[in-house]
């Protein structure tokens, strides 16, 4: 099934005031090479004049992004997954995005009174990939479940990272089949789906009472100043967010923002991160 993605209006706020932004007729350096058949490489972003959200448009068949080639390139074999995992967890803390992420969540946990006295809160990590995040969360006392559509990633999460793992596509999983968790995390996941509002809205069914969602997204406002070659604008990202569009995404999906922050990560990524809770009418 082919997948052509174009947005005539801002997919987050609905505004039709979209200004031209970066245009690509060759892949930027460092981008994964996908097979788009005969269709020439051509894509462009537009930026919403109202909320600052970047949306990606192309006539290329983007189903190639999801047909397994992407995962194959990332996880060539079980040893390859393990080597990459070990390389990342071996990074000194000042160079590790993951260490910063876990520290941020631990800082939140220490101030979030609804979690006072919770011995081992549970976390569902959606799109866990190499499972470096659930692994590090487990070491700080969380019960973690890694969710990934790729069987190899789930097996790796179980056997190497030592966490529970579920092989499933979050968008296709039965509501309720993923358990209910104190924290559900989306670490650079929602920019990869065509409809991030729909994906985030589905999270309500796997949140415990007082549950919180942690979201990390690429920061288009920060990255755009560095030009079109930034990885935040690679082809896998249908969406690149602004502070405003992340907040509007949360509201549209039935959440309210507890905190929202712009950071520059050790890897140099421009990133937005937020903690969300269900809006009162969703609880």
> Shortest gap between Cβ of 3 and Zn ion (angstroms)?
22
Residues 7-36 that bind Zn ion (CB under 5 A): 10, 13, 15
Region from 2-10, 135-143, 199-207, 222-230 binding Zn ion, contact rule CB under 5 A:
2-10
As measured in angstroms, the least distance from the Cβ of 16 to Zn ion is 9
Q: Is 51 in the site for Zn ion (CB under 5 A)?
A: yes
Measured from the CB atom, the residue of 48 and 146 that comes closer to Zn ion is 48
The alpha helices in the chain, defined as continuous H runs, are 69-74, 78-89, 97-111, 132-139, 151-159, 196-201, 220-224, 243-252
Return the closest-CA partner of residue 262 out of 250, 252, 270: 270
Residue 46 vs 152, nearer CB to Zn ion: 46
Q: Is 53 in the site for Zn ion (CB under 5 A)?
A: yes
Other CB atoms within 10 A of residue 173 CB: 17
Structure token pair of residue 127: 């799109």
**Restricting to residues 213-232, which ones interact with Zn ion according to CB under 5 A?**
none
Number of residues that bind Zn ion (CB under 5 A): 7
52 vs 100 by CB, closer to Zn ion:
52
Evaluate whether 48 touches 20 at the Cβ level (below 8 Å).
no
CB 116 within 8 A of CB 74: no
CB of 8 to Zn ion, least distance (A): 12
Nearest to 233 by CA among 65, 43, 100: 43
Taking CB under 5 A as the rule, does residue 253 contact Zn ion?
A: no
Residue with Cβ nearer Zn ion (51 or 223): 51
Handedness of CA 69, 75, 79, 83 (dihedral sign): positive
Q: Which stretch binds Zn ion (CB under 5 A): 21-29, 42-50, 181-189, 250-258?
A: 42-50
Residues in the chain, overall count: 283
- Is 102 a binding residue for Zn ion by CB under 5 A? The answer is no
Find the binding residues for Zn ion in span 107-126 (CB under 5 A): none
Looking at the Cβ atoms of 135 and 241, the one nearer to Zn ion is: 241
What three-state secondary structure class fits 91?
Answer: coil
Cα distances (Å, whole numbers) of residue 176 to 95, 96, 125, 172 = 37, 33, 15, 12
Backbone angles phi, psi at 44, to 5 degrees: -155, 155
Asked whether the beta carbons of 197 and 262 are under 8 A apart, the reply is no
Q: Should residue 249 be labelled a site residue for Zn ion when binding is judged by CB under 5 A? A: no
**CB-nearer residue toward Zn ion: 242 or 271:** 242
Instruction: Check residue 48 for interaction with Zn ion (CB under 5 A).
Output: yes
237 part of the interface to Zn ion, by CB under 5 A = no
141 backbone φψ class: left, alpha, beta (φ>0; ψ -120 to 50)? left
Cβ atoms within 10 Å, residue 133? 26
Identify which of residues 105 and 252 has a Cβ nearer to Zn ion in the complex. 252
Q: Whole-number minimum distance, CB 55 to Zn ion, in Å?
A: 8
List of residues contacting Zn ion (CB under 5 A): 10, 13, 15, 48, 50-51, 53
């Amino acid at each position: 099934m082919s997948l052509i993605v174009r947005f005539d209006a801002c997919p987050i706020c609905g505004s039709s005031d979209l200004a031209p932004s970066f245009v690509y007729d060759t892949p930027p350096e460092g981008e994964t090479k996908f097979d788009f058949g005969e269709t020439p490489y051509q894509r462009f972003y537009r930026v919403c004049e109202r909320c600052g959200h970047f949306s990606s448009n192309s006539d290329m068949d983007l189903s190639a992004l999801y047909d397994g080639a992407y995962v194959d390139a990332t996880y060539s074999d079980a040893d390859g997954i393990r080597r990459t995992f070990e390389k990342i967890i071996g990074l000194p803390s000042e160079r590790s995005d993951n260490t910063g992420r876990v520290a941020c969540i631990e800082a939140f946990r220490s101030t979030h009174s609804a979690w006072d006295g919770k011995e081992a809160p549970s976390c569902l990590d959606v799109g866990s990939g190499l499972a470096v995040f659930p692994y590090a969360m487990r070491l700080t006392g969380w019960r973690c479940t890694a969710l990934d559509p790729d069987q190899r990633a789930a097996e790796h999460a179980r056997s190497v990272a030592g966490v529970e793992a579920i092989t499933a596509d979050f968008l296709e999983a039965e509501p309720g089949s993923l358990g209910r968790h104190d924290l559900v995390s989306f670490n650079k996941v929602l920019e990869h789906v065509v409809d991030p509002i729909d994906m985030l809205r589905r999270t309500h069914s796997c949140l415990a009472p007082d549950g919180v969602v942690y979201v990390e997204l690429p920061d288009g406002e920060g990255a755009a100043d560095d030009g079109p070659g930034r990885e935040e604008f690679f082809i896998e990202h249908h969406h690149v967010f602004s502070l405003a569009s992340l907040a509007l995404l949360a509201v549209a999906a039935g959440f309210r923002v507890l905190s929202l922050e712009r950071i520059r990560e050790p890897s140099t990524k421009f990133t937005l991160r937020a903690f969300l809770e269900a809006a009162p009418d969703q609880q």
